[in-house]
Amino acid sequence: MPAVRHEGREKVTGAARYTAEHTPDGCAYAWPVPAAVAKGRITALHREAALAVPGALAVLAHDDAPRLRPAGDPTLELLLQHDRVPHRGWYVALAVANSLEAARECAAAVRVEYAAEPHDVVLSADHPDLYTPEWANGGHPAVRERGDFPARFDAADIRVDATFTLTGLHNHPMEPHASVARWEDGRLLVHDSSQGATAVRDALAKLFALDPDRITVLSEHVGGGFGSKGTPRPPAVLAAMAALHTGRPVKLVLPRRQLAAVTGHRSPTVQRVRIGAGRDGRITALAHEVATQTSTVKEFVEQAGVPARVMYTSPHSRTAHRVAALDVPTPSWMRAPGEAPGMFALECAMDELAAATGLDPVELRLRNEPGTEPDTGRPFSSRHLTECLREGARRFGWRARDPRPGVRREGDLLLGTGVAAATYPVLLSPSYATAEATPDGRYRVRVDATDIGNGARTVLTQIAAAALNAPLPRVRLDIGDSRLPAGSVAGGSSGTASWGSAVYKACDALAALVREYGGQVPDDGLTASGDTEREAAAESPYARHAFGAHFAEVQVDTVTGEVRVRRMLGVFAAGHVLNPRTARSQFLGAMTMGLGMALLEGSTMDPVFGDWAERDLASYHVPACADVTGLEAHWIDESDEHLNPMGSKGIGEIGIVGSAAAIANAVHHATGTRFRELPLTPDRVI
């Protein structure tokens, strides 16, 4: 049902309040002080001038900040706890003052002396510190080998050996990270811009050694996160520390220029893809080898080689990750971590294989459809990539395509079209929900879900109403509050499945209960609960993934080198789509982010300074409306009984996966040149 966005009116009228818009009485303001060296040690910290700023309240640093306990995340538990500087931008102090302006001035007046050490911030495929970790992000083994890749690759009739180099990327949500914290009678109340209030509450409980019941975290409206708010972040911890230290409520809104160093990034990758195939295009050997970086604070391994374990028949294969711990900020999740960069490399390599075999790129993919998941041998719960490719080709008008590269001209413009496939796993996390019926025929459903713009409020209300067989307006849904039954993080495209299954079960049980009472709800109401604990712990006998196909048409200006996407069309197989309106938005938003990845977005590490060069939206370019024309998202309404009661797969991330490859393949078709680096900015293309 295309229900309209539940809180749409509140959002467009400004009534929806975001974290930074909560200002408790007596609120103080905090402004962090980032490290000014890329590696070293703090040798002295001078507070005098800072504390002399009118309105200054405190300057917290490692020598006086409240002590933190282990919480399983060194990016949090080490905040203001020691004198080491692991990367530029790491917080060395926190200024607190009566106003935002005073806090900023106070922070600027803190003088820190460092013993700087030489730093190393540049990833390369032959970096001496590269090692093979046990795990890549997402709990995937770092290395998987089947058969004898080297021998079969050497023996293949057709061989593609291509290396792709991707820069770091940053999530840059529209609403920067923010927290407002206050302590009252030993209880901690935090408004936090987060993808999961339960997770933030649990982290704060560990860090401050508090019973989770004494902490409330509210994430009512969130202006995007794209993974950067998927794990608890420094603002919540720092605001709570400052509030504890000063005895005042404290608001901390990160300036955008500080996001890059402390809220994660998509790690740069160097990816080598080798594909051996017969002259008929059938793949015999496939290797996807990834080199990436993490920080010295925490190991995070971008799992870019993982989609190659899912996509194509490949009897002999090797997928492997290596990582180097550099003096860089800690990487983290960014929309479709692993799949987005990994499928760029794999799907561009497939395009190279199509060219090498003379096969149409759609036909090449169809020829390599596996019967079961290549890596595990498990049957797919549903796949339908073939249908996505065929349906996309039909809608896009692919059949008339002249395969020759570099031959379509319109004045100074070269034109081309490209295709790429997409995949994203079906994930599920433990979530809990309750549903209550009252005698007036109304229902109240509670789950600590987060609406980060994904439409969670809307679709969860729909799921509840359907299970209760009640009209939407009869259902009140409470989310975004850690006092509600625990909900998983809005991440991994798992929200609707995780929260939704719990909501469905609670509402289904409640409906049965109401029937038992003959439809007469007693005065004190009826309540039922549901959870996904068992499903989250269970190993499915099926390989469960969403799939899709992207088609793109580009024009390349031969005078300026500018690439523009004329149209992009995606067809997805993502289970049952619960709300076509919000789903379309998710797909289009992610495709737009893929366009940004292909053409505009890039964070470059300054080797001397040891920091990201782009730290604002003037230099980190994201697509604007004028960059996004002719976008279409379609889907195949799959029926898959091996998923959840709604039959849904996740849709938040698959739209970005493969979209950059479709554009890069179109640029090759337009120009005849292979670009194996992103973004395809004019300086690269010209």
Point out which span in 27-35, 142-150, 332-340, 661-669 binds ligand MOS (CB under 6 A): 332-340
Within 8 A by CB and 6+ apart from 427, the residues are 492, 493, 494, 497, 650
* Residue number with CB closer to ligand MOS (32 or 492): 492
Q: Which amino acid is at 453?
A: G
Least spacing, CB of residue 642 vs ligand MOS, in Å: 22
Tell me if 334 contacts ligand MOS by CB under 6 A. Answer: yes
96-115 b/e with 16+ CB inside 10 Å = b? bbbebebbbbbbebbebebe
Least spacing, CB of residue 532 vs ligand MOS, in Å: 17
Q: For 407-412, which contacts have Cβ atoms below 8 Å and span 24 or more sequence positions?
A: 408/670, 410/555, 412/557, 412/558, 412/559
Contact 20, 180 (CB under 8 A): yes
Cβ-in-10-Å burial (0-12, 13-18, 19+) of 671 comes to buried
Strands (E), 327-448: 409-410, 413-425, 432-437, 443-446
Could you give the CA distance from residue 157 to residue 69 in angstroms, rounded to a whole number? 58
> If you search the block for the tokens 């523009």, which residue do you land on?
564
* Residue number with CB closer to ligand MOS (225 or 374): 225
In the stretch 218-237, what mask flags binding to ligand MOS with x, by CB under 6 A? --------xx--x-------
From 176, 234, 235, 337, residue interacting with ligand MOS (rule: CB under 6 A): 337
Residues noted as catalytic:
653
Could you give the CA distance from residue 470 to residue 607 in angstroms, rounded to a whole number? 60
* Residue number with CB closer to ligand MOS (452 or 510): 452
Q: Could you tell me which residues are beta bridge partners of residue 635?
A: 572
For residue 591 the two structure tokens come to: 């495709």
In the stretch 142-181, what mask flags binding to ligand MOS with x, by CB under 6 A? ----------------------------------------
* Residue number with CB closer to ligand MOS (173 or 276): 173
Least spacing, CB of residue 227 vs ligand MOS, in Å: 3
Stated as kind and residue range, the H or E segment containing 582 is helix 580-599
Q: How many residues bind ligand MOS (CB under 6 A)?
A: 10
Least spacing, CB of residue 79 vs ligand MOS, in Å: 22
> If you search the block for the tokens 């996740």, which residue do you land on?
650
CA 201 to chain CA centroid, nearest Å: 20
* Residue number with CB closer to ligand MOS (89 or 173): 173
Tell me if 333 contacts ligand MOS by CB under 6 A. Answer: yes
User: Would residue 503 be called left, alpha or beta, if left means φ above 0 and alpha means ψ between -120 and 50 degrees?
Assistant: alpha
* Residue number with CB closer to ligand MOS (254 or 509): 254
From 274, 321, 335, 615, residue interacting with ligand MOS (rule: CB under 6 A): 335
For residue 589 the two structure tokens come to: 């938003």
Point out which span in 329-337, 395-403, 545-553, 588-596 binds ligand MOS (CB under 6 A): 329-337
In the stretch 479-518, what mask flags binding to ligand MOS with x, by CB under 6 A? ------------xx--------------------------
Could you give the CA distance from residue 464 to residue 631 in angstroms, rounded to a whole number? 32
Task: Count other Cβ atoms within 10 Å, centred on residue 428.
Answer: 22
* Residue number with CB closer to ligand MOS (167 or 454): 454
Least spacing, CB of residue 454 vs ligand MOS, in Å: 10
Q: Which amino acid is at 492?
A: G
Least spacing, CB of residue 333 vs ligand MOS, in Å: 4
Could you give the CA distance from residue 317 to residue 642 in angstroms, rounded to a whole number? 28
Nearest-CB residue to ligand MOS? 227
Contact 68, 76 (CB under 8 A): yes
Least spacing, CB of residue 443 vs ligand MOS, in Å: 29
Contact 251, 25 (CB under 8 A): no
Least spacing, CB of residue 558 vs ligand MOS, in Å: 37
In the stretch 186-215, what mask flags binding to ligand MOS with x, by CB under 6 A? ---------x--------------------
* Residue number with CB closer to ligand MOS (489 or 563): 489
Strands (E), 479-624: 526-531, 545-557, 563-573, 605-606, 611-612
Q: Please give the residue ranges that form the binding site for ligand MOS (CB under 6 A).
A: 195, 226-227, 230, 333-335, 337, 491-492
